[in-house]
Structure formats: structure tokens, C-alpha cells
Amino acid sequence: MKIKDKNQSSVKTKTAIRTAFAEIVKEKGDLDKITVTELVRRANINRSTFYLHYSDIYDIAAEMEQSLMSDVMQNSPRNREELLTFTEELLDLIHKNENLYRQILTSESPMYFLRKFRREIAVKIQSIPDVNHNPTPWFQMKTEIFADGICEQVVYYFRGRTEYTFEELKLGILTCLREYF
């Protein structure tokens, strides 16, 4: 995400790029199969304009993911119940924007998203004073392992490697969160 300028022309160009990107993602079903050439044709811009705004296709996906998650990630749960609500809202957001997340998580390079997702979940859990901190010396590791497990289950879902529906996945994660912490 290169250009920080929010002038009218820049906003229109980025909107055209993002719209074209979303259409192509829906059609192709794989980020790795999207080319800049195809994208600039669809957005009706030239390559140099594209590269003023983005480094590559994954840069657009990261920006879209960031904008989708920014509202939820700004929440700072203060207790166990708010942590459950935060987790539920995060999972609902992923489900609502399933096409984009499916493309991100089934591509060859979902690491950026997963690292961020894992870190955010672990930090949110660690910041809650009324969650179970036992055993204390291992609490950080416990939260990181739990966050890794959530990430892995979401990836399994999007890659078709689980028999759970998204609602069952969500229920399972929330149940484990209640029991684990």
C-alpha cells in the first residue's frame, strides 16, 4: 500500500482496483492466478498507476483484509465475556467476507494474515485480567497455542479439510475459549 494521499483521483483509482480485484478473486478462486495485467485491464488503468498504489496482488489482499478487520481489532476486551464477544465478532466478520478470506487462506502465502490474526488473538487473551492465568509461567505460551489452534481450524475450514460448518467451527472455538480460559 504505497500512496497515502487521499485526493479524489487516488480514491477513485483505488476503488476501481479493489472492485476489479474482488471480481477476479470471485471468478478465479485463487490469488496466485491473478495477474497485474488482468487486473489493470479490468480496472481500466495502466500498470504504472497500479504500481503507484500497490506493490503486487498480495498488497491489495492485505489492504482489504486490514480494512475489513480494523473495526474489530480496535476493540479491547476488558473481561472474559468481552473476550468471547470479540472472538465471536471476529469469526462473524470472517464468515461474512468468506470469499476474500478463502482466497487469502487457500493461497500459497497466507502467512502475513495468519501471523497478524494469531498475534491479535493472543494479545487480546493475554490482556484480560479475569481469564485463567494458570499455570502462570506458561500463560503466554498457553494463549499462543490456543491462538495457533484457532488459526489452524480456520485454515482447515477454508481449505475444505474439516467436516465442520462455519457455525460449528465458531461454536467449537467459543466453547474451547470458555473452557480453556
Q: What is the pLDDT of residues 120-164, one digit of tens each?
A: 889 999 989 888 887 788 899 999 999 999 999 999 998 899 999
* DSSP assignment letter at 160: T
Report the C-alpha gap between 82 and 105 in whole angstroms: 27
Grid cell for residue 37: 495485467
Q: What is the pLDDT of residue 30?
A: 72
How many whole angstroms from its chain centre is CA 61?
Answer: 9
120 in the same domain as 74? yes
Q: Do residues 121 and 68 share a domain?
A: yes
The candidate with the shortest Cα–Cα distance to 147, out of 105, 113, 115, 175, is 115
Is 154 domain-assigned? Answer: yes
CATH of the domain at 32: 1.10.10
Residue 13 covered by a domain: yes
Range of the domain at 46: 8-55
- Both 138 and 66 in a single domain? yes
Q: Domain tally for the chain?
A: 2
Q: What is the pTM of this model?
A: 0.72
Same domain for 38 and 83? Answer: no
Which parts of the chain register pLDDT below 70?
1-6, 29, 71, 107-109, 112
Residues 16 and 39 in one domain: yes
